[in-house]
Structure formats: structure tokens, C-alpha cells
Structure 1
Amino acid sequence: MRVLPLALFISMAAFQAPAADVTAPVREVMDITKTNWGTVDADWKYIFDPAPLSKLFSKRFQAAYKEAAKHPAYDTENNEPGDPFGYDVVTNSQDGCPFENLEIGAGPLKDGLTDVKASFKMWTCIDEAEIKNSVSEVHFDVITEDGTPVIDDIHRAADGERDSVLAEMQSLAKGQGQ
């Protein structure tokens, strides 16, 4: 009789899907961002291009971006809605250096959301030691949609405060500039 419960346990365990890695969309965004700051502008890839936007971000984030994009930060060559940001939202800057010491870690799941933190040195090409050794911190709200972890918001952390890219996009959508 012990064989039957053991066999049932083994067969049920075999059919359970492994838990999705909540850091995966953040790793992809950070890989793109790290590559961008390590290359020339001609090779720049936008995390909000259609493919990464639809794959890595929640439906709510995508909808907010679509509305914010109706108020581009600069004119586009093809008269299509442009990027609503005039800067890199991950680094919160227009300037930077190749990243060093990129670390990504997930906090516990709380209320359906996981806080995934990315920290890195982004001013590695600056001569001043205090700036060069400073560590930037970005938090990503990761939720699960349709069984896949996706980013629902991005928060840049500085001076004990955290902002919200989602809230910024909602303001931009209302025509309230940066």
C-alpha cells in the first residue's frame, strides 16, 4: 500500500511546472540597459520598443505607456507617437558610463507583487572617486500575468525616496510635462 501514495506523489510532482523566475524580465531590461550604456548611440535599444514592451511589461504598464507616448518628449522623423521620455528611465539620466557590479535580487512575494532590486555602478568613467563609486538602485514591481512574470512599475531610489515611472506616464498622458 505504501507504493501507491509514493507513486501518486512522484507523478504529481512531475507534472507541476517549475515556478517562473520573477527576476527574468528585470534581467532582460537590465541587460538591454547595460548594453546601451556600454555602446555608442547607434546601437541603442529601447526597452519600450514594441517587442520588449509587450513581453516584459504588464498590460497596465503598456496601456500607460501608449497614452504617455501621445505626448512625446521630442519630435519623431516619421510623425508617429514617440517616446514620452527624454532620458533613460532605468538610470534616470541622459548620460552615463558602462555599468559595473550589476546585482539583481528579488524580495518576497507580497500582495501579488515582488520587489526586484537592481543595483549597479553607472558612473565608472568619472574621475571623482565619490561619484565613480556611487551605487545606483532601481526597484521593479514584478507581478504575474497569464502565468508569466512581468514588470508593473519601475522605481528609481535616491536619498531614501522612490519615484514611479507608471505615475510619471499617467501625468504625461494628461499633458503634464516632465
Structure 2
Amino acid sequence: MKSAVTAIAVLFLAVGACQAADPTDPVREVIKVAAGNWAAENPTSEEVFGESRLDRLFSADFAKAYREASKHPAYDPPEGETTGYPFDYDPIAGGQDGCPFENIRIENDGDGQVTALFNNHKCFGDGAEYQADTVLIFHVREEGGRALIDDIYPVVNGNSGQSIKDELKAIAAQ
């Protein structure tokens, strides 16, 4: 009897492990969308932070911060709209100018941290500053059984930069 209970417990643990959310999935989608927007040929114009992605890829707290910040768009929204894009740059590409994303790598660092690395400056020249990777650290947590992005930190000069979620909250507070 005891071995049967143990076997059932192991089976439940194995099933649970198979159903565990992969923390790299939402990061992969965000990077794929951003890379598509910066493609050299046939670029897309998808919104990384569009409504369907906010609800599907980002934590409730991040989505709330984004929606509040979008009430203070960086540029005038289209006629009849009251919200818009809160940033005056692309926080995934790390600027207003960039090149197609090359050598994209997504690494699960464990404990809810996923790092995305890519080069999106090579088209600017051969200098060392243009060969360096853009690095983003995503904090991913599980909500409702799904892995969701809770924050993004760009790495600047080898150090974690300002939290994107904190930047959104600062925009909303203005």
C-alpha cells in the first residue's frame, strides 16, 4: 500500500513538472515580435505591448503599469484616441534607431530570470560599440499557471539598468 501511494505521488509530481510553464516562452515571443519590427526586409508593425499580448504575456502588475502609463503617451495619439504608446523609444531594441536583430539568444538563468541577447547595432559600423550585444533581463513569474513577464531590465555597461515597469510607473505618475 505504501509503495502504491509513493508511486501515485511520484506520478502527480511528474505530471506537474511536465505542465510547468516555460519561463522563456513569453520572452521568445516578445523578442520575435520586436525583431520582426526591425527586420531589414518586410518589417512587421506589431505592438509588443498590444492589448492581447499584455493580457497573455505580461503579469497583471506590469499590464496595469503599462495601461496607466499609456494615458500619458509620448506623442499625440491619433484623433479620437485618449491613450497611446508611453515610450519615446523602443524599450526592447533599446533606442529610436537600430538595425535588424542578429544572433538572438534566449537563456533561462533560473529563479524566474531570463536573459535575451542580440545584436541590433552592426549596421552602424565596425566599431566595438556596434558589435556589442543588447542585453535584456526579464523577470518572469507564474500567474494562473502561466509564465508571465513581470519586468524587464536593460543591461547598461555591464550593470542592470532601470526597470521598465518602474519607468512605466514614473510616466503614469506625471
TM-score tier, shorter chain, comes to 0.7 to 0.9
Amino acid in the other structure paired with 1:130: A
User: Offset of 1:76 from its aligned partner?
Assistant: 1.4
- Distance in 2 between the 1:6 and 1:168 partners? 49
**Any unmatched runs of 5+ in structure 2?**
none
The equivalences for 1:162-177 within 5 A come to 162-175=161-174
The equivalences for 1:6-85 within 5 A come to 8=8, 12=12, 15-16=15-16, 17-39=18-40, 43-78=44-79, 79-85=81-87
User: Offset of 1:20 from its aligned partner?
Assistant: 1.3
User: Which of 156-165 and 57-66 deviates more?
Assistant: 156-165
1:34-90 CA distance string (max 9 Å, x none): 111105797311111111111000000011111111110001113230011111111
- Distance in 2 between the 1:41 and 1:73 partners? 26
Match of 2:117 in 1: 119
Please, what is the CA RMSD of the aligned residues?
2.2
- Distance in 1 between the 2:97 and 2:42 partners? 11
- Number of matched residues? 171
Q: Secondary structure at the match of 2:123?
A: coil
Q: Secondary structure at the match of 2:129?
A: helix
- Check 1:68–1:13 CA distance in 2 against 1; reply closer, same or farther (3 A cut): closer
User: Offset of 1:168 from its aligned partner?
Assistant: 0.5
User: Which of 42-51 and 98-107 deviates more?
Assistant: 42-51
- Distance in 2 between the 1:174 and 1:4 partners? 58
- Check 1:10–1:129 CA distance in 2 against 1; reply closer, same or farther (3 A cut): same
Amino acid in the other structure paired with 1:173: A
Match of 1:91 in 2: 93
TM-score, length basis structure 1? 0.86
Kept in 2, the 8 Å contact 1:23–1:105? The answer is yes
Aligned-pair identity in percent equals 35
Amino acid in the other structure paired with 1:156: P
- Distance in 1 between the 2:12 and 2:67 partners? 42
Match of 1:105 in 2: 107
User: Which of 56-65 and 6-15 deviates more?
Assistant: 6-15
TM-score, length basis structure 2? 0.87
Match of 1:150 in 2: 148
Kept in 2, the 8 Å contact 1:140–1:154? The answer is yes
Kept in 1, the 8 Å contact 2:118–2:134? The answer is yes
Kept in 2, the 8 Å contact 1:99–1:124? The answer is no
Match of 1:129 in 2: 127
- Distance in 2 between the 1:41 and 1:72 partners? 27
Q: Secondary structure at the match of 2:95?
A: coil
Q: Which runs of 4+ in 1 moved over 6 A?
A: none
- Distance in 2 between the 1:5 and 1:145 partners? 30
